[in-house]
Structure 1
Amino acid sequence: MNFRNLAGACLISIGTCAHALDEVVVTPARYAQSLGEVVPSVVVITREMIERSPSVDIAGLLRWHAGLEISRTGGTGQQTSVFIRGTESDHATVLINGVKMNSATVGIGALEMINTSVIDRIEIVKGPRSTVYGSDAVGGVINIITSNFGQDDENSTSFHVMQGRYGMDEQGVRLRYGNDQASGNLSFSRLDTQGFPARNTSGTDHGHDNETFDFNIQTKVGAGEVALGFWQAKGNTEYDSFGSDNDQDRKNNILRAALTVPVSDNWHSTLSMSRTKDEIRQNQENSLSSGNKDFAFTDRVVYDWKNDFTLNDHVLVLGASLADEDTDSLSFGTSYRENTDIYSVYLHDRFARNRHSLFTATRYTDHEDFGSAVTWNLEYGYSLATQTRLSASVGTGFRAPNSSSRFGFGGNPDLREETSRSIEAGISYDLNPLTALSLRIFDNRIEDLIDWDVTISQNRNIERARIKGIEAALSHQSGPWDIRLEGIIQNPRNETENSRLLRRAKRTLTGSLAYSREQFFVQINSLVTSQRRDFGDVALSGYGLVDVSAGYHFPYVTLALKAENLLDKEFELASGYNQPGQSVFAELQIKPM
């Protein structure tokens, strides 16, 4: 591995050097296109970036990018939420290889169940994507890609071991193979950590263990192609519940199958089926549930028919999908069982000619419980001869309340669906092939935002929220040095009550300084964020973090040291919950072929 080339790849984010614009992404429109053709803000985290990052879990990877805020109730394995540009955590659609993993009961994707050792890359689109991915994608999309064969054109076997503070112990193996007819990968990872007290009033460590299995294969069949994939993450998490030490088992399964057929030179048709299962089982009896053990199950099956047409300067996508969701839950004495069908048809068009790029899309959704909704996106980009690119976009979003929000503990069956309209404008400028600046402003208005009312212990629509902000980024490469700075200033407001939305900061600045020469690399990440509010109008103080990693690449072996929270700062991401102190981890990777 050439770490000099790796350093340049690390700058793929909202401020992107000219040489990275040829990077191919699939998440913005569900087909491959170069990053330079994409109008919305996109963050790409590659496998090489994950390996050299000081972060040891997915929460750590995401928080170093402007507009991605993390909330976590403890350490590794505890419930993790991400807020994209100030929107709610359930406004982020989390995908595994393009398949939605958000629970229809909890509402968010179980990021804490994803071990980074099985990830090939992460693509994050900031801004509404309900038109492309349906309900929930009001704030954006996080696509966890575990099978990315073809990007590095090599068969490989690798082994991974990492150990460190809080009893962290992780092992994994990854196999990749491909030829002209077929390609595939197989990954297994096991993680165990003793943890630390999740709440600051507890004296008991709360640990987490996780096993992740991932298998993907795609093969040519005649003129077409068949793809199969299976993902499973299962584990146990200990946590503090109102002063009691509890634990729960959780399992996520995603099965997907797709057949792509070239109907003609300009028309490719894809039929796909996916099934997502999310299971949470409480291991202690709940007195409020008549001595029974609480649980929450989601079983979602999605059938999708997607047609891609290439017509001169246009890429046209026409498709339809049917989702069948089953949910079953018992929580604090409240139980429910629901079945929901969601049907949608969608149409996208991307036009690219010379310096112009235009993306238009619309989606009609027929929700069994909330009727019909139409969402749309209009995005335009224009490149000037002076290496300057202008962009503007407007889009709408739609999110139907999940079953727990309506029928679970504190549920409200009278909840209305959330809708949004977002406007964004941006400019990027390449000072030279190795230095880039970017600036984006955004304004997101959300109607009927669903929030928890602590005064009545029930979910309710708060009528109106508005999030205005500005993002800026600078990236620069000079010889063995790489520098990245990202910042956001935002105002996430509950306009009905004239208050700030919870657990979101107004100002965040992140930076990365990397040095690589020959086979050696070192990276320093830093973050500074301002005060936030939490439930009960509790103020969460602003904080600053510094993480460091260093490593050396021997033939077939890479050794690395990672240090999180190097300055041992005390901070909270949720009121009353501890976060990791200074932590050092040693990592060994073996790649015999």
Structure 2
Amino acid sequence: MSQQFTHNGVRTSYRRSHASALSCAAIKPVARATCVVALGLTALHAQAQSAPAEATALPPVVVSATGYPQPLASALPSVSVITREQIEQSGAQNLVTLLQQVAGVQVTNSGGPGQPSNVFVRGFGGADVLVLLDGVPMNAQDATGTSYLNNFTTDQIQRVEIIRGNVSAIYGSGAIGGVVLITTRKGSKKPEASVSVTAGSRHTATVSANASGQIGNTALQAGISRSTTQGISAINPAQLSQANPNTNGYGNTTMNGSIVQTLAPGQSLGLRAFSSQGRASYDSYGAYASPTDTNLSSTTQDLYQIFSDNQVTSAWKSHVSVSQQSTTNTTENFSAFPYSATYRTRIEQGLWRNVMQLGAGWTATAGLEFQRQSVHSITASIPDEQRDARAVFAGVNGRIGSNEIQLNLRHDAIDGYGGQNTGYLGYGRELGGGFKAIASYSTAFNAAPLGYLYAPFYGNPDLKPEKAHSAEAGLQWSQGVNVLRATLFQTKMTDKWQYDFTSSTFQNIASSSTRGLELSGRGAWRGWVYDANLTLQQPVDTSQPDEPTLQRQARSLANISISRAFASVLYGATVHYSGPRWDSGPTGQVTLGGYTTVDLNASGALSKNWRWNARVQNLFDKQYQTVYGYNREPLGIFLGLTWRPAL
């Protein structure tokens, strides 16, 4: 018996067969793992070639590596992509859950749902990982420099691309560790609508609705989602003294909409709006805490954007956008020592980006960017400050025979820092049989957030920018939807920001580096769709004599996701592994043990217009921590139903 099923961009015809077994080899240190790279790629090459002839591959496309669409296999930087289809099939309700499955990415959480999360890419996190929402920077200009990804639910996200490694020459300040590019839901030419409901463990419930279509030359899209959960008591009172453990509930409302008017063939004008509002309860501990305390936090992220896309000539496309992004955070404590703090950071951006086809397989990019960055504190915990940032950038990408070259140059001028120049040079050579050798060298810088510079007591207006340089070398094999890649990487950072307990301020007193081996692969084999990765890294503090591993950073990370359709149901499983890490405890350093979690998902059709999905989170109820003193979510079961009416 043969049936067809489409998932993750792969349409396959399959026949029922005996169950297959998946075995994993033991993780080896970097020095020993390098010798198996070529053998592993060759074996996977042979397996993929033996796939049934009836399988039809649809290669994934990425935009982030160059600024214009290209096949994933053509990208010289290391890139991962999460599509809307993958988001729906996973059943994941928040962005952080999706990101922790990406190669080289590690997520830490200080509390329950809605509480601060830090995303590390190849050992760099916080202000060193740039997050863009529809091309607009989301990193706050407060004393954290992070993007509050814990506040992003998945219902209004179309796709996510993650660049691993230093790409400051393409995206500017903050891209030392990598870039996370989030794209919101867009309108479609034909009418579409959906309503989804999800419910499950810990009184979790989500309701979302989306609609899009085109009226004449006007494309419309609108979506809204509401998610609530009772959460867990994340804090561990046995580890943190005088804690006030209580259930940490979280609620989020996200809205997204766009209007795009086609003025003439190749000429369009659009308006986009996005808003995410989250409110959470959290635990506190320490000398001023008590079990009866109540702690609340709320985070609102708003984005408004006007944009124009124009086909100036047959070979020249232009994009112009004007945007305003703001993040407002409020913290309230009701106790014997009550306090309240509210601050807002804002980025106003003007962007002009151009893509020009030069002929003979060459493409050029160029543009200008302006940002006005500001921070405002209603409770005066951070004085009102603002600065301007200007940039000019250009790039070229193309082929000479079997050789592929990418060159990007960028000049940034940020108030207080003067001019900063960065560059990226990538090279690829086709070796035949789907194999390609890849190498790159790049430089980067990061301007300190306004909170680091001007916050009372610990701010330092004399902070210099962090600077870094990176080198990569890799081997890739690709055929159709299958892309397998092995990458050796190294990044060295100088003038790293670190809190100095002697002066009680931030100082440029540290340096760090990370190097390692990254193996990644995605595609299809004999009816199975897979996405797997292994990262062996050494993120170390080079300002210390013995070069200790950076806090909360694991030296080994691994993920594997597999899925396959049986009859009318798509089944999937995801395994996430993190090695041990160290963290600060009340009496000094403590070790957070390594852990492995397993998630299951399934989805299928009830009828032409109705679909169901199910997700099991942390199948074996593994108890683990990513930050000392805060437990992660236990076993959870979630069921969803989606209605897509015929329009």
TM-score (normalised: structure 1):
0.92
Cα–Cα, structure 1 residues 268 and 485, in superposed 2: closer, same or farther, change >3 Å?
Answer: closer
C-alpha distance in 1, partners of 2:477/2:496? 36
Cα–Cα, structure 1 residues 393 and 85, in superposed 2: closer, same or farther, change >3 Å?
Answer: same
Identity %: 26
Cα–Cα, structure 1 residues 286 and 293, in superposed 2: closer, same or farther, change >3 Å?
Answer: farther
Partner letter of residue 117 of structure 2?
T
Deviation at 1:549, TM superposition (A): 1.0
2:168 touches 2:176 (CA, 8 Å); kept in 1? yes
C-alpha distance in 1, partners of 2:10/2:541? 38
Deviations 1:28-74 (A, max 9, x none): 22222222321111111111111111533211111112201001112
Report the secondary structure of 1:448's partner residue: strand
The correspondence for 1:533, drawn from 582, 603, 620, is 582
Deviation at 1:392, TM superposition (A): 0.8
Q: In structure 2, what is the equivalent of residue 34 of structure 1?
A: 71
Cα–Cα, structure 1 residues 375 and 4, in superposed 2: closer, same or farther, change >3 Å?
Answer: same
C-alpha distance in 2, partners of 1:353/1:160? 49
Q: In structure 1, what is the equivalent of residue 27 of structure 2?
A: none
The correspondence for 2:317, drawn from 268, 283, 294, is 268
- The yes-or-no answer on 1:46 pairing with 2:98 is no
- The yes-or-no answer on 1:65 pairing with 2:112 is no
Deviations 1:147-170 (A, max 9, x none): 3556xx753111111111122111
Report the secondary structure of 1:533's partner residue: strand
Deviations 1:61-103 (A, max 9, x none): 1111220100111232111111011112221111112221111
1:10 touches 1:49 (CA, 8 Å); kept in 2? no
2:136 touches 2:349 (CA, 8 Å); kept in 1? no
Partner letter of residue 464 of structure 2?
R
Deviation at 1:461, TM superposition (A): 2.3
Deviations 1:440-460 (A, max 9, x none): 010001111113356765433
Larger radius of gyration: 2
Cα–Cα, structure 1 residues 395 and 149, in superposed 2: closer, same or farther, change >3 Å?
Answer: farther
- The yes-or-no answer on 1:198 pairing with 2:234 is yes
- The yes-or-no answer on 1:340 pairing with 2:392 is no
C-alpha distance in 2, partners of 1:455/1:548? 49
- The yes-or-no answer on 1:420 pairing with 2:420 is no
Deviation at 1:328, TM superposition (A): 1.7
The correspondence for 1:400, drawn from 439, 447, 457, is 447
- The yes-or-no answer on 1:509 pairing with 2:552 is no
Deviation at 1:519, TM superposition (A): 2.0
Partner letter of residue 236 of structure 2?
N
C-alpha distance in 2, partners of 1:304/1:287? 49
Report the secondary structure of 1:50's partner residue: helix
- The yes-or-no answer on 1:231 pairing with 2:284 is no
The correspondence for 2:61, drawn from 13, 18, 24, is 24
C-alpha distance in 2, partners of 1:167/1:355? 57
The correspondence for 2:638, drawn from 561, 585, 588, is 585
1:54 touches 1:564 (CA, 8 Å); kept in 2? no
Q: In structure 1, what is the equivalent of residue 252 of structure 2?
A: 210
Report the secondary structure of 2:230's partner residue: strand
C-alpha distance in 1, partners of 2:11/2:504? 45
1:70 touches 1:83 (CA, 8 Å); kept in 2? yes
C-alpha distance in 1, partners of 2:168/2:534? 26
Report the secondary structure of 1:131's partner residue: helix
C-alpha distance in 1, partners of 2:529/2:256? 33
Partner letter of residue 530 of structure 1?
G
- The yes-or-no answer on 1:445 pairing with 2:519 is no
C-alpha distance in 1, partners of 2:555/2:264? 55
- The yes-or-no answer on 1:257 pairing with 2:299 is no
2:597 touches 2:620 (CA, 8 Å); kept in 1? yes
Report the secondary structure of 2:64's partner residue: coil
Deviation at 1:179, TM superposition (A): 7.3
**Structure 1 gap ranges (5+):** none
Q: In structure 2, what is the equivalent of residue 520 of structure 1?
A: 569
Higher mean C-alpha displacement, 234-243 vs 583-592 = 234-243
C-alpha distance in 2, partners of 1:421/1:134? 14
- The yes-or-no answer on 1:128 pairing with 2:180 is no
The correspondence for 1:548, drawn from 597, 600, 603, is 600
1:571 touches 1:578 (CA, 8 Å); kept in 2? yes
Q: In structure 1, what is the equivalent of residue 7 of structure 2?
A: 6
The correspondence for 1:282, drawn from 318, 331, 336, is 331
The number of equivalent residue pairs is 584
The correspondence for 2:420, drawn from 365, 373, 376, is 373
Deviation at 1:419, TM superposition (A): 0.8
Report the secondary structure of 2:441's partner residue: strand
Deviation at 1:351, TM superposition (A): 1.6
2:91 touches 2:613 (CA, 8 Å); kept in 1? no
Deviation at 1:583, TM superposition (A): 0.7
Deviation at 1:204, TM superposition (A): 0.6
C-alpha distance in 1, partners of 2:413/2:583? 35
Cα–Cα, structure 1 residues 475 and 236, in superposed 2: closer, same or farther, change >3 Å?
Answer: closer
Report the secondary structure of 1:449's partner residue: strand
Partner letter of residue 572 of structure 1?
Q
C-alpha distance in 2, partners of 1:26/1:196? 38
Report the secondary structure of 2:630's partner residue: coil
Cα–Cα, structure 1 residues 76 and 293, in superposed 2: closer, same or farther, change >3 Å?
Answer: closer
C-alpha distance in 1, partners of 2:394/2:192? 39
Q: In structure 1, what is the equivalent of residue 532 of structure 2?
A: 485
Higher mean C-alpha displacement, 19-28 vs 370-379 = 19-28
Q: In structure 2, what is the equivalent of residue 382 of structure 1?
A: 429
2:326 touches 2:346 (CA, 8 Å); kept in 1? yes
Higher mean C-alpha displacement, 207-216 vs 22-31 = 22-31
1:248 touches 1:280 (CA, 8 Å); kept in 2? yes
Deviation at 1:263, TM superposition (A): 3.1
C-alpha distance in 1, partners of 2:215/2:403? 36
- The yes-or-no answer on 1:361 pairing with 2:398 is no
Cα–Cα, structure 1 residues 27 and 434, in superposed 2: closer, same or farther, change >3 Å?
Answer: closer
- The yes-or-no answer on 1:240 pairing with 2:283 is yes
Deviations 1:490-542 (A, max 9, x none): 00001011221111100112112212134201111112211112234222111
2:137 touches 2:347 (CA, 8 Å); kept in 1? no
Q: In structure 2, what is the equivalent of residue 323 of structure 1?
A: 371
Q: In structure 2, what is the equivalent of residue 559 of structure 1?
A: 612
Report the secondary structure of 1:36's partner residue: helix
How large is the Cα RMSD of the aligned pairs? 2.6
- The yes-or-no answer on 1:103 pairing with 2:152 is no
Cα–Cα, structure 1 residues 184 and 395, in superposed 2: closer, same or farther, change >3 Å?
Answer: farther
**Structure 2 gap ranges (5+):** 13-40, 50-55, 238-243
Equivalences for residues 180-191 of structure 1 within 5 A: 181-191=217-227
1:24 touches 1:32 (CA, 8 Å); kept in 2? yes
Partner letter of residue 131 of structure 1?
A
Q: In structure 1, what is the equivalent of residue 121 of structure 2?
A: 84
C-alpha distance in 2, partners of 1:396/1:285? 47
1:216 touches 1:227 (CA, 8 Å); kept in 2? yes
Cα–Cα, structure 1 residues 360 and 207, in superposed 2: closer, same or farther, change >3 Å?
Answer: same
Cα–Cα, structure 1 residues 91 and 523, in superposed 2: closer, same or farther, change >3 Å?
Answer: same
Report the secondary structure of 2:231's partner residue: strand
1:114 touches 1:233 (CA, 8 Å); kept in 2? yes
Q: In structure 2, what is the equivalent of residue 142 of structure 1?
A: 180
C-alpha distance in 2, partners of 1:286/1:415? 36
C-alpha distance in 2, partners of 1:389/1:197? 49
Deviation at 1:219, TM superposition (A): 2.3
1:21 touches 1:36 (CA, 8 Å); kept in 2? no
Q: In structure 2, what is the equivalent of residue 94 of structure 1?
A: 131
